[in-house]
Amino acid sequence: MISFEKMTVNTMKTSINKLKPLSFSRNSNQEISIAGFKLKDLVQTYGSPLYILCEETIRARVNEYKDSFQEFYGEYELVYASKALNCKAICKLMEKESVSLDVVSIGELYTALSVNFPMNKVIFHGNNKSPEEIQACLENNVRIILDNFNDLRLIDELNKSKKEVNIIIRVTPGIECHTHEYIKTGKIDSKFGFNLEDVLDLVAKLKKDYPYIKILGLHSHIGSQIFEMAPQRDAALVLLNKYKEIKEQLGIEMTHLNIGGGLGIKYLESDDPPEIADIVNFSAKAVIEACEKFDLKKPILMMEPGRSLVAPAGITVYRIGNIKDIPNLRKYVCVDGGMADNVRPIMYQAQYLAELDAKDPNKDLETVTIAGKYCESGDVLIKDIKMTKADTDDLLVVFSTGAYNYSMASNYNRATKPAMVLVNRTGHNLIVKRESLDDLLRQDLVPSHLS
């Protein structure tokens, strides 16, 4: 086994590791704008709550990854983990930026298909893929992340002609990172992937019994919202050690190495995640050195960022309604959204930064709790935040909401999901319409005996 000695990097790049969108600004009246467009005007046009995405931020972060791979490694594939935020416009934006797509459901794949995203740049994840999903992968020549033997059974049963199928084997490397328990995925006790110790026998079985299956390489994903660089490197080294065994014992040399994603971002000013360039450099250096030590050809290095591409680009704007002050206990500032458009605080105890539009964020500070409007006591977006004194009808901005907010949104309490707007210097475009009340009823049926 290769030793995991300490490695250092020195990228000297300008940081884009910002909590707020790159095009965020305030004028002399403290009015907030994104890409030059005032929040109040966007809300007047599209309503609230409102998801807003800064296109400049997404493109900058994509290019930080691409430039870093080109500088520090060579042949690579940047794959957007679309579960973070999947809609037609985002799929098209990633295509324009020459980024591949990671999908985990027939719905995410269908969205990509609907905008003619190139299927040879899609990979399909999942620990319990349905026959419908495997069939769609086979029909569209999508690369499949082989997660378990049920995947293999379905591939063999549905692939009647036994045409070539490209797979990447997902493994649990036994490496944990310091993140929320629910989003640790690299430990042995995980619903995802094969145990690393079983991989050699699995590859031998595939070679012998499934000659139409082409194994591109191995994949691991150790978690999400990761601030440490060492676990990512260590996972890559564990996989490459297995590549060495596979080459020596089976004569197969893998062409791809997928080290997953999970790089964390700033939700609070105190958060200090690695720079994109640093995590790429750190991982690339480890792979290069291990390949030289093990006499392996340098594989195509795949990375699957999601949150780190889109979360900092997003804000959510709410309008403040009721303000409830309980003397000597708590002051609640209630907004016109909450857990239906952002379930992360109640699900992951996620923390956010928020500011008021058209008010100096450094004056008239008080400690308040930002509460949602839904019928749950736990519907709290931000507990005990120090913020400028709020008034009814003020606009509240919550930052870093580009990932897992829209994608986890629900119709709880029969709420309609917010609209989403993509903003750049030339204009603003609606990319997800606000749901209507009729949309809520569209799938409802009343049996005849109740009519």
Provide the token pair at 264. Answer: 């964390």
Helices (H), 342-411: 344-348
Which contacts of 94-102 are long-range, i.e. CB under 8 A and separated by 24 or more positions?
94/62, 95/121, 97/59, 97/62, 97/63, 97/66, 98/66, 99/62, 102/304, 102/306
For residue 231, pLDDT over 90 is answered with no
Asked whether 306 and 81 are in contact (CB, 8 A), the reply is yes
pLDDT, greater one: 174 or 73: 73
Statement to judge: residues 272 and 350 lie in one domain: no
Please, what sign has the CA dihedral across residues 137, 138, 144, 148?
A: positive
If DSSP codes are grouped into helix, strand and coil, which group holds residue 399?
strand
The pLDDT, as a whole number, for residue 185 is 41
Q: What is the mean pLDDT of residues 301-305?
A: 97
Provide the token pair at 377. Answer: 């006591």
Cis peptide before 274 (omega within 30 of 0): no
Q: Does some domain include residue 191?
A: yes
Statement to judge: residues 343 and 254 lie in one domain: no
Q: Does some domain include residue 9?
A: no
The pLDDT, as a whole number, for residue 60 is 97
Active site residues: 375
Q: What is the mean pLDDT of residues 49-63?
A: 98
Strands 256-258 and 300-303: parallel
Statement to judge: residues 361 and 418 lie in one domain: yes
The pLDDT, as a whole number, for residue 295 is 94
Q: Does some domain include residue 321?
A: yes
> What is the total residue count of the chain?
451
Amino acid at 20: K
The pLDDT, as a whole number, for residue 225 is 86
Statement to judge: residues 132 and 169 lie in one domain: yes
The pLDDT, as a whole number, for residue 14 is 58
Percent of the chain residues topping a pLDDT of 90: 87
Element housing 156 (H / E): helix 149-158
Domain C-terminal end among 269, 284, 305:
305
Asked whether 321 and 392 are in contact (CB, 8 A), the reply is yes
The pLDDT, as a whole number, for residue 8 is 39
Asked whether 183 and 225 are in contact (CB, 8 A), the reply is yes
- For 313-333, how does the pLDDT look when each residue is reduced to its tens digit (9 = 90+)? 999 999 999 999 999 999 999
Q: What is the mean pLDDT of residues 253-259?
A: 96
Which neighbouring-strand residues pair with 124? 103, 144
Residues 6+ apart with CB under 8 A from 257: 217, 218, 236, 239, 240, 243, 287, 299, 300, 301, 302
| Residue of 345, 357, 375 whose CA lies nearest to 50 | 357
For residue 306, pLDDT over 60 is answered with yes
Element housing 441 (H / E): helix 437-441
- For 197-210, how does the pLDDT look when each residue is reduced to its tens digit (9 = 90+)? 999 999 999 999 99
Residues 6+ apart with CB under 8 A from 168: 123, 143, 144, 145, 146, 215, 216, 217, 218, 219, 256, 258
Query: Which CATH number is 358's domain given?
Result: 2.40.37.10
Q: CA-to-CA distance for 206 and 237, rounded, in angstroms?
A: 23
Element housing 154 (H / E): helix 149-158
Find the domain containing 365 and state its range. Answer: 312-439
The pLDDT, as a whole number, for residue 12 is 44
- For 383-399, how does the pLDDT look when each residue is reduced to its tens digit (9 = 90+)? 999 999 999 999 999 99
Q: What is the mean pLDDT of residues 3-30?
A: 71
The pLDDT, as a whole number, for residue 13 is 52
Domain C-terminal end among 305, 332, 367:
305
Which neighbouring-strand residues pair with 429? 422
Domain count, the chain: 2
- For 333-359, how does the pLDDT look when each residue is reduced to its tens digit (9 = 90+)? 999 999 999 999 999 999 999 999 999
Query: What's the distance, Cα to Cα, between the start and end of the chain in Å?
Result: 70
For residue 279, pLDDT over 80 is answered with yes
Q: CA-to-CA distance for 140 and 308, rounded, in angstroms?
A: 28
Q: What is the mean pLDDT of residues 21-46?
A: 98
Asked whether 235 and 219 are in contact (CB, 8 A), the reply is no
For residue 67, pLDDT over 80 is answered with yes
pLDDT, greater one: 417 or 191: 417
Percent of the chain residues topping a pLDDT of 70: 94
Q: CA-to-CA distance for 126 and 69, rounded, in angstroms?
A: 26
Amino acid at 52: I
Statement to judge: residues 135 and 261 lie in one domain: yes
Statement to judge: residues 270 and 354 lie in one domain: no
Q: Does some domain include residue 42?
A: no
Query: Which CATH number is 163's domain given?
Result: 3.20.20.10
For residue 258, pLDDT over 70 is answered with yes
